[in-house]
């Protein structure tokens, strides 16, 4: 095995190698002998199957296995000559050349490594910003919305029409082509108008109606994407009777019971404590928006400009592949055929994504190093808990939710996003 290593830069290397036919043959013969000792073939005792029969049956596979074994040895030898530990290799080796010649191999294997990131002066990249203020009006408005969560409903005594924000007690029944359908009927059902709980048009149709013993027809159309295929896209008429109109009974001064419900676990729940919690909540929301819209983009721009590092080419290529899959997923069949028959056009399209992909990969390695510097750690258990909580909020099955993310292969990206959020929050709030 002849080998020549060329260190392109600190993050990449090319390995030129010539594999002799004799070495491949030796590996193949060893594999044949091993297979023969375990094969069962009628007419031969176990371990006595002739080599030519083994080769006739499994020749192609044995040849590939021999190549794989040689490549594994080449990989180990290349790392030794490059003086690089295996845990620093990122991504899979790729081949810019792989040719079979006279029973041997001539190849160029490309390897990429985790880059060295020197992060001196990174704190200087955090831009100056003014901490957001919270007004009394904002606290008052949020307090009213918060109290509404635990406020009781009271019946509206005055004879008025239904408006958005009301809660109505209704009887209804749905008909398609004049025939009532299963699951389309309910009595004394409480519906919040404006909640979007029903199909589009239903709640809007109730606005303006008054309490009455007579039903009103509300014509709507089920969405094409509706879960019940028998109803999807179908024009429908609901006969609706308004029995009561109710509103949230929000007192000017909340009761102790209401405050306790909104401050579970607090030893001395008071209105002042609740308002303080609301103020903190609003301030954190404003900070999060400020960070995402202004501070983070400027910090990223500064840090990418300040820090220089060599990027693993195969990881950049993977990022470009990801962008390309997004593009091709939106193309028509004719457009896909056009690209398939034009390699130069594919190459040109890939280059459109190179600059942004390089920035993305560079930032990933910088964030990883910064997280170590700042002591930011996220366990796999925390990722699972976040996915579980998200599933519960969406009303989905947590196990199915997790399986979906696992199949998509996005769990590492989710973990990185949590690390990034915690890191930036710590960097941007330090000393504030």
**pLDDT digits 0-9 by tens, 355-379:** 999 999 999 999 999 999 999 999 9
Lowest mean pLDDT among 9-13, 326-330, 360-364: 326-330
- Every domain range in the chain assigned CATH 1.10.3120.10: 271-429
Question: Averaged over 187-215, what is the pLDDT?
Answer: 94
**pLDDT digits 0-9 by tens, 180-194:** 999 999 999 999 999
Which range of 36-45, 49-58, 296-305 scores highest in mean pLDDT? It is 296-305
- Every domain range in the chain assigned CATH 3.10.50.40: 152-249
Q: Do 169 and 212 contact (CB within 8 A), yes or no?
A: no
**pLDDT digits 0-9 by tens, 266-289:** 888 999 999 999 999 999 999 999
Q: What is the reported pLDDT for 33?
A: 79
Instruction: Give the pTM.
Output: 0.70
Please state the length of the chain.
432
Angle at the Cα of 75 from the Cα atoms of 72 and 80, rounded to 5 degrees: 130
Binning pLDDT at 50, 70 and 90, where does residue 44 land?
low
- Every domain range in the chain assigned CATH 3.30.70.1050: 2-112
User: Cα separation of 403 and 381, whole Å?
Assistant: 15
Q: Give the closest residue to 207 by CA, choosing from 186, 223, 224, 193.
A: 193
Residues 101-125 as b/e (b if ≥16 CB within 10 A, e otherwise) read eeebbebbbbbbbbbebebeebeeb
Question: Averaged over 292-303, what is the pLDDT?
Answer: 95
Q: What is the reported pLDDT for 190?
A: 96
Parallel/antiparallel/unpaired status of strands 104-112 and 12-19: antiparallel
User: Cα separation of 204 and 221, whole Å?
Assistant: 13
| 315: Cα separation from own chain's centroid | 18
Binning pLDDT at 50, 70 and 90, where does residue 335 land?
confident
Q: Give the closest residue to 427 by CA, choosing from 361, 343, 386, 366.
A: 366
CB count in 10 Å sphere of residue 219? 11
Q: What is the reported pLDDT for 385?
A: 87
Binning pLDDT at 50, 70 and 90, where does residue 102 land?
confident
Class of residue 406 by CB neighbours under 10 A (exposed 0-12, middle 13-18, buried 19+)? exposed
Average pLDDT of the residues of the chain: 90
**pLDDT digits 0-9 by tens, 114-142:** 999 998 899 999 999 998 999 999 999 99
**pLDDT digits 0-9 by tens, 46-80:** 666 677 776 776 668 888 888 989 999 999 999 99
Q: Is the pLDDT of residue 333 over 80?
A: yes
Beta bridge partners of 5: 15
CB count in 10 Å sphere of residue 61? 11
Homologous superfamily (CATH) for 271-429: Trigger factor, C-terminal domain (1.10.3120.10)
Pick the CATH number of 152-249 from 3.40.50.280, 3.90.850.10, 3.10.50.40, 3.30.750.24: 3.10.50.40
User: Cα separation of 245 and 191, whole Å?
Assistant: 10
Q: Give the closest residue to 134 by CA, choosing from 244, 289, 15.
A: 289
Q: Which CATH class is domain 2-112?
A: alpha beta
Q: What six digits make up the tokens of 237?
A: 């008429």
Q: What is the reported pLDDT for 397?
A: 84
Q: Do 191 and 170 contact (CB within 8 A), yes or no?
A: yes
**pLDDT digits 0-9 by tens, 18-40:** 999 999 889 888 887 777 776 66
């Amino acid at each position: 095995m002849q080998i020549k290593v060329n260190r392109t830069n600190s993050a990449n290397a090319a390995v030129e190698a010539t594999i002799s036919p004799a070495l491949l043959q030796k590996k193949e013969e060893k594999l044949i002998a091993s297979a023969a000792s375990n094969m069962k073939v009628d007419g031969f005792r176990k371990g006595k199957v002739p080599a030519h029969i083994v080769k006739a049956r499994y020749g192609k596979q044995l040849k590939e296995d021999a190549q794989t074994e040689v490549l594994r040895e080449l990989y180990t030898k290349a790392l030794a000559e490059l003086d690089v530990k295996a845990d620093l290799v990122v991504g899979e080796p790729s081949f810019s050349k792989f040719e079979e010649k006279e029973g041997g191999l001539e190849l160029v294997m490309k390897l990429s490594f985790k880059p060295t990131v020197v992060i001196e002066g990174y704190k200087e990249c955090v831009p100056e910003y003014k901490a957001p203020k919270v007004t009394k009006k904002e606290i008052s408005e949020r307090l009213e919305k918060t109290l509404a969560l635990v406020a009781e409903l009271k019946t509206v005594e005055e004879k008025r029409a239904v408006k958005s924000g009301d809660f109505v007690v209704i009887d209804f029944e749905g008909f398609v082509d004049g025939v009532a359908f299963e699951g389309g009927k309910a009595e004394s059902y409480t519906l919040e108008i404006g909640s979007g709980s029903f199909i589009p048009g239903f709640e809007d149709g109730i606005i303006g109606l008054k309490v009455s013993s007579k039903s009103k027809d509300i014509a709507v159309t089920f969405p094409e994407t509706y879960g019940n295929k028998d109803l999807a896209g179908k024009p429908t008429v609901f006969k609706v009777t308004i029995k009561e109109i109710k509103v949230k009974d929000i007192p000017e001064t909340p009761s102790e019971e209401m405050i306790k419900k909104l401050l579970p676990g607090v030893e001395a729940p008071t209105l002042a404590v609740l308002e303080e919690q609301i103020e903190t909540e609003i301030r954190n929301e404003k900070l999060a928006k400020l960070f995402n819209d202004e501070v983070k983009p400027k910090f990223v721009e500064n840090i990418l400009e300040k820090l220089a590092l060599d990027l693993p080419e195969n990881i950049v290529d993977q990022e470009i592949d990801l962008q390309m899959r997004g593009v091709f997923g939106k193309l028509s069949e004719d457009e896909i055929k056009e690209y398939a028959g034009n390699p130069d056009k594919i190459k040109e399209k890939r280059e459109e994504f190179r600059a942004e992909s390089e920035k993305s990969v560079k930032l990933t390695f910088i964030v990883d190093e910064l997280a170590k510097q700042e002591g930011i750690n996220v366990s796999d258990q925390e990722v699972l808990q976040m996915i579980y909580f998200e599933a519960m909020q969406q009303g989905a099955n947590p196990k199915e939710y997790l399986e979906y993310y696992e199949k998509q292969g996005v769990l590492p990206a989710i973990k990185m996003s949590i690390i990034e959020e915690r890191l930036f929050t710590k960097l941007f709030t330090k000393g504030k």
